[in-house]
């Protein structure tokens, strides 16, 4: 019981701290500056989970290429501090990749450390055929090690960095990319903007192109409070969540997987695959708010969604 109480206090403390830093533009800027300054070490390492996520995207694109699609261009939504997943893919494919984000949190030294770690860890995860396919791996690591700064690195690897503070994709031409991917990003898009974002993803994909997204469906505040239910937010109405927990720094939209699938389907995407990671103990730990009563048990238990859609080819 005491452990549960401590977890609840940590959960509330994280919520109130993030809400406090969200109060003004200057406080939000301060939070981001402090975060960038003190998160270098955390962003300099590579986890086994991150490698598995990268390999998931790699296998999807590799299978598409084997079918004859021959992907050449890609867009990463929410490229983050170190462009990890784009650099990961460049270790396998000679892709022209656009790196898209809403703010500039880039950390060059952390990127160099992560690529060095990746070059040491990744070969142990690959079979002999994949190691042959990853012919860029050692070259990518060498390129990153000698790059002077981000702009030098982009020129060497054929990358392009784009910042759009409002997150809008209007400036990108129709049919620009063979694939668009993201990892733990779509859950942070403002709920009212999600239909627009999904529609724009459809617009800027080439016919036959793939939309590949891992979506974190869990309660991100619970990351600060081990022991809290993985989707603790299911307890709360929109009113209560907005009053106590919602914030502009680590916003989550609380959209469930069926909602995402409906949005992608409504703009014309064909579903290729949908997998989930689930927490089967979740519903025994919390009382579900009536807002979520319409969802089945599998959807409520889902803590992560891995969805792949294809833009149809019109003949």
Q: Which fold has domain 2-310?
A: Rossmann fold (3.40.50)
Of 40-44, 134-138, 213-217, 238-242, the range with the lowest mean pLDDT is 134-138
Nearest residue to 142 via CA among 118, 158, 126: 118
Q: How confident is the model at residue 92 (pLDDT cuts 50, 70, 90)?
A: confident
Contact of 110 with 84, CB cutoff 8 Å: no
Rounded to whole angstroms, the Cα distance separating 135 from 130 reads: 9
* Percent of the chain scoring above 90 in pLDDT: 75
The whole model's pTM is what?
0.94
Q: What does 122-175 look like in DSSP terms, one character per residue?
A: GGGGS-HHHHHH-TTHHHHHHHHHH--SHHHHHHHHTEEEEE-TT---TTSPTT
pLDDT given at position 67: 87
pLDDT given at position 123: 78
pLDDT given at position 191: 95
Q: What is the pLDDT of residues 245-300, one digit of tens each?
A: 999 999 999 999 999 999 999 999 999 999 999 999 888 889 999 999 999 999 99
Torsion sign across C-alpha atoms 273, 46, 16, 23: negative
pLDDT given at position 197: 97
pLDDT given at position 152: 96
First to last CA, the chain: 62
CA angle in degrees (0–180, nearest 5) for 141-142-143: 90
pLDDT given at position 32: 85
Q: What is the pLDDT of residues 165-191, one digit of tens each?
A: 999 999 999 999 999 999 999 999 999
Q: How confident is the model at residue 125 (pLDDT cuts 50, 70, 90)?
A: confident
- Checking if the pLDDT of 131 tops 60, the result is no
Structural domain boundaries in the chain: 2-310
What separation in angstroms does the CA of 85 have from each of 52, 90, 155? 11, 9, 18
pLDDT given at position 137: 67
């Amino acid at each position: 019981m005491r452990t549960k109480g401590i977890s609840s206090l940590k959960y509330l403390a994280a919520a109130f701290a993030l809400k406090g830093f969200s109060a003004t533009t200057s406080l939000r800027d301060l939070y981001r500056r402090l975060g960038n300054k003190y998160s270098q070490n955390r962003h300099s390492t590579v986890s086994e989970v991150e490698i598995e996520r990268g390999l998931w995207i790699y296998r999807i694109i590799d299978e598409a290429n084997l079918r004859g699609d021959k992907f050449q261009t890609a867009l990463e939504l929410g490229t983050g501090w170190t462009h990890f997943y784009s650099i990961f893919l460049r270790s396998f494919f000679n892709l022209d990749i656009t790196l898209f984000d809403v703010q500039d949190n880039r950390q060059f030294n952390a990127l160099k450390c992560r690529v060095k770690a990746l070059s040491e860890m990744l070969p142990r995860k690959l079979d002999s055929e994949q190691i042959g396919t990853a012919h860029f791996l050692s070259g990518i690591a060498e390129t990153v090690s000698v790059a002077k700064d981000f702009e030098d690195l982009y020129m060497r690897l054929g990358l392009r960095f784009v910042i759009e503070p409002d997150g809008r994709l209007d400036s990108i031409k129709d049919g620009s990319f063979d694939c668009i991917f993201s990892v733990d990003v779509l859950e942070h898009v403002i709920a009212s903007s999600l239909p627009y974002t999904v529609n724009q993803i459809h617009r800027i994909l080439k016919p036959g192109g793939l939309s590949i997204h891992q979506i974190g469906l869990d309660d991100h505040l619970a990351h600060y409070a081990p022991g809290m239910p993985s989707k603790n937010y299911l307890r709360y109405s929109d009113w209560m969540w907005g009053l106590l927990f919602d914030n502009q720094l680590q916003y989550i939209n609380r959209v469930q997987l069926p909602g995402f699938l409906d949005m992608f389907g409504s703009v014309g995407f064909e579903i290729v695959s949908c997998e989930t990671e689930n927490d089967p103990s979740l519903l025994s730990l919390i009382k579900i708010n009536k807002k979520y009563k319409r969802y089945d048990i599998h959807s409520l238990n889902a803590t992560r969604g891995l969805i792949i859609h294809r833009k149809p080819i019109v003949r």
